[in-house]
């Protein structure tokens, strides 16, 4: 494979000039053109190892997730890839799923081989050692949906989303609104169970209602779990509305209601959070999170920090978009309503 010396020879310049021309540094237009032509003719591509060794930059970005087989994370990844690939960066995935040795491997070795220029970490809860390891890297980090000291952060206001969702239900006239999701006592890999629970509770209390009594039902963030919780809940003490901590939970609730012969939204309103791929199909009213957009933003912020290493970390909180569909209505099913 052709190397930089071949290109230099063909273009009639030095290797230093080739390097500059290819990296957009100072070089006359004429020289740049010659170099580019020579490189194209030879099918030359920079060796990332050599370039990385000499410059300290690798054009690789790490993306760290607790697990990748979830809608939210794959959508983040799609967004991240779309901006990073187009900027000539590769993304290396660090999937912490699986045993702890996999996790230790990532922190102890993979991350430190200096093979990345920066890191995007999503919904990761770090140990003290891990935070130290990350800081020792001296590379920019942006965190999505979770706080990492010193890192730029992008997130959504989960408590606010939960409050909005609950208020939507309240404004329709519901007073018996159950919450299905992870509670404050549930350690969640998503780091958001608490906030959504709190948002629901505070909206209930602000309306003079006792949330805790109306019912908190625990569920994991998936359809079967939402289904099981709703089955139990609806058999128990039927509320007129459910606020689901995620759309997958919400879809499970809708399915459970159907199986019990209840009509949604006439007999039961359901609102979720996410705007999952399937939510439109199920007519689920929800607060859209747009993870692909979060991923794109995170990637841009990381790129900005790479260009400007001195800059202070930012904190961007995204505003969710309310998507009213057919799963919410006034109690009794009178009229479709909006917040």
Partner DNA sequence: GTGAAAGCGCTAACAG
Partner DNA sequence: CTGTTAGCGCTTTCAC
Residues that bind its own copies (CB under 8 A): 1, 43, 45-50, 52-53, 58-60, 67-71, 74-75, 77-78, 81-82, 85-86, 88, 90-95, 97-98, 101-102, 105-106, 108-110, 112-115, 136, 223-224, 227, 258, 277-278, 280-281
**Residue 92 C-beta: closest distance to DNA, Å:** 19
Tell me which of DNA, its own copies, none is bound by residue 185, counting a contact when its beta carbon lies within the kind-specific cut-off of 5 to 8 angstroms.
Answer: none
Closer by beta carbon to its own copies, 97 or else 317: 97
* Cis peptide bond N-terminal to 6, omega within 30: no
Please give the residues from 28 up to 57 whose contact with DNA meets the rule CB under 7 A: 28, 30-32, 44, 46-47, 50-51, 53-57
Indicate the residue among 75 and 165 with the shorter CB distance to its own copies. 75
**Residue 185 CA, distance from chain mean position:** 23
| Least spacing, CB of residue 270 vs DNA, in Å | 55
Residue 128 three-state SS: helix
Query: Cβ(17)–Cβ(31) under 8 Å?
Result: yes
CA atoms of 203 and 201, how far apart (whole Å): 5
C-alpha dihedral sign at 75, 197, 152, 147: negative
Residue 230 to residue 244: CA distance in whole angstroms: 10
Name the segment binding DNA (CB under 7 A); options: 5-13, 81-89, 99-107, 186-194. Answer: 5-13
Residue 110 near DNA by CB under 7 A? no
- Binds 14, which of DNA, its own copies, none (CB < 5 to 8 A, cut-off by type)? DNA
The residue among 25 and 184 lying less far from DNA, judged by its C-beta, is 25
Burial zone of 252 (CB within 10 Å; 0-12 exposed, 13-18 middle, 19+ buried): buried
171 binds, among its own copies, DNA, none (CB under 5 to 8 A by kind): none
Strands (E) located in the chain: 60-65, 90-95, 118-122, 141-144, 152-156, 177-181, 216-218, 241-244, 269-274, 285-288, 315-318, 321-323
Name residue 293's beta-bridge partners. Answer: none
How far is Cα 195 from Cα 157, in angstroms, rounded to an integer? 8
Q: Which does 27 bind (CB under 5 to 8 A by kind): its own copies, DNA, none?
A: DNA
Instruction: Single out the residue of 9, 15, 186, 218 in contact with DNA (rule: CB under 7 A).
Output: 15
15 binds, among its own copies, DNA, none (CB under 5 to 8 A by kind): DNA
Please count the CA atoms within 13 angstroms of the CA of 9 that sit on its side-chain side.
Answer: 7
State the nearest-atom distance from the C-beta of 152 to DNA, in Å. 23
Q: CB 28 → DNA: shortest distance, Å?
A: 4
Pick one of DNA, its own copies, none as the site partner of residue 186 (Cβ within 5 to 8 A by kind): none
Asked if residues 251 and 282 have their Cβ atoms less than 8 Å apart, the reply is: yes
Edge-to-edge strand ranges of the sheet holding 285-288: 216-218, 177-181, 241-244, 269-274, 285-288, 321-323
Applying CB under 7 A, which residues contact DNA?
Answer: 3-5, 12-23, 25-28, 30-32, 44, 46-47, 50-51, 53-57
């Amino acid at each position: 494979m052709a190397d930089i010396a071949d290109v230099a020879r063909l273009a009639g310049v030095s290797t230093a000039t080739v390097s500059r021309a290819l990296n957009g540094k100072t070089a006359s237009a004429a020289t740049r053109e010659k170099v580019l032509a020579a490189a194209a003719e030879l099918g030359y591509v920079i060796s990332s190892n050599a370039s990385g060794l000499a410059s300290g930059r690798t054009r690789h970005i790490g993306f760290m997730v607790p697990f990748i087989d979830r809608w939210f994370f794959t959508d983040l990844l799609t967004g991240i890839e779309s901006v990073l690939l187009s900027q000539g960066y590769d993304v290396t995935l660090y999937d912490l799923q699986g045993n702890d040795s996999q996790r230790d491997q990532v922190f102890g070795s993979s991350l430190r081989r200096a093979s990345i220029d920066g890191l995007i970490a999503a919904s990761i809860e770090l140990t003290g050692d891990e935070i130290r390891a990350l800081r020792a890297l001296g590379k920019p980090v942006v965190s999505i949906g979770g706080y990492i000291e010193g890192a730029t952060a992008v997130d959504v206001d989960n408590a606010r989303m939960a409050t909005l969702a609950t208020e939507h239900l309240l404004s329709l006239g519901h007073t018996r609104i159950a919450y299905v999701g992870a509670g404050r006592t549930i350690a969640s890999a998503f780091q958001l169970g608490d906030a959504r629970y709190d948002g629901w509770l505070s909206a209930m209390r602000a309306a003079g209602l006792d949330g805790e009594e109306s019912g908190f039902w625990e569920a994991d963030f998936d359809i079967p779990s939402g289904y099981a919780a709703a089955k139990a809940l609806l058999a128990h003490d039927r509320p007129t509305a459910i606020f689901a901590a995620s759309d997958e939970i919400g879809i499970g609730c809708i399915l459970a209601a159907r199986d019990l012969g209840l009509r949604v939204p006439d007999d039961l309103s359901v609102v979720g959070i996410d705007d999952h791929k399937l939510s439109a199909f199920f007519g689920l009213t929800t607060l859209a999170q747009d993870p692909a957009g979060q991923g794109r933003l995170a990637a841009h912020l990381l790129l900005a920090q790479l260009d400007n290493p001195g800059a202070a970390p930012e904190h961007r909180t995204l505003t969710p978009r309310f998507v009213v569909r057919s799963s919410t209505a006034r109690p009794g099913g009178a009229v479709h309503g909006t917040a």
